[in-house]
Amino acid sequence: MRIVTISREFGSGGRELGKRLADELNFDYYDREIIDTIAHNTGTDPNYVFTVLENHGWKNIPLTFRQSVKSPLTVQYAQTELLIEQKRVIEEIAKHGNDCVIVGRNADVLLQDYCPFNIFVCADVQAKIRRCMERATQDENLTPKVLKRKMQNIDKQRKQIRDILTGSKWGEPHNYHVTINTTDWEIKQLTPAVTTIVNRWFGRKQ
């Protein structure tokens, strides 16, 4: 089984790279699917799970949000519980045995016994803002300033959660096999090159 993990700065195009890579390699692809499974298993709302795990992070359990969400079940899970469930879901994916690309959620560390190929994706702030603005819907009404703040908050969270859970630094190049700066790339043009690296990596090990 071959597992590729992608960790990424918000807006760097890491998710698009993951999707395209999975398509080119003919691997399964996991991203929001993990959130949906956690929500299903814990009987919570996927938006709640997403917000707790992705946007608000480790330290601040968003009580107001928790109270405002109408979950199909009455139990709302705290962040630690959701993180434990997330770990379980990711381990289940690996046990399933299919080749796959997993985006985010510290899968590189959680699945290290499976020797995944780990990619980190970064980009310059301006490039990330440009990428997000292109993808934003009109009614999101995002300004570059708002986006920049959002970007910094989310990355800070990702960094914090990783530091606490894994003791391994987020974005530090020694913790990944390859780190790609997408600033001057179209993800579409970059993907075949990354596919080659992944193929050589797994070819090397066989």
**Would the CA dihedral through 152, 181, 35, 168 be positive or negative?**
negative
Which residue, chain included where needed, has tokens 């956690």? 38
CB nearer to its own copies: give 87 or 177.
Answer: 177
Task: Determine the Cα–Cα distance for residues 89 and 8; give it in Å rounded to an integer.
Answer: 20
Binding of residue 170 to its own copies (CB under 8 A): no
Task: Write out the two tokens for 189.
Answer: 């043009």
Q: What are the start-end ranges of the E strands in the chain?
A: 3-8, 28-30, 100-103, 117-122, 178-181
Binding of residue 17 to its own copies (CB under 8 A): no
Name the residue among 166, 163, 74 with its Cα closest to residue 112: 166
Q: Which of 63, 78, 146, 193 binds its own copies (CB under 8 A)?
A: 193
Contacts with its own copies: how many residues (CB under 8 A)? 27
Site for its own copies in 122-161 (CB under 8 A): 122-124
CB nearer to its own copies: give 51 or 181.
Answer: 181
Name the residue among 166, 172, 162 with its Cα closest to residue 53: 162
Cα-to-chain-centroid distance, residue 45:
19
Q: Which stretch binds its own copies (CB under 8 A): 16-24, 77-85, 141-149, 182-190?
A: 182-190
Site for its own copies in 83-122 (CB under 8 A): 120, 122
Binding of residue 200 to its own copies (CB under 8 A): yes
The residue ranges that bind its own copies (CB under 8 A) are: 120, 122-124, 171, 173-174, 176-181, 183-186, 189-190, 192-194, 196-197, 200-201, 204
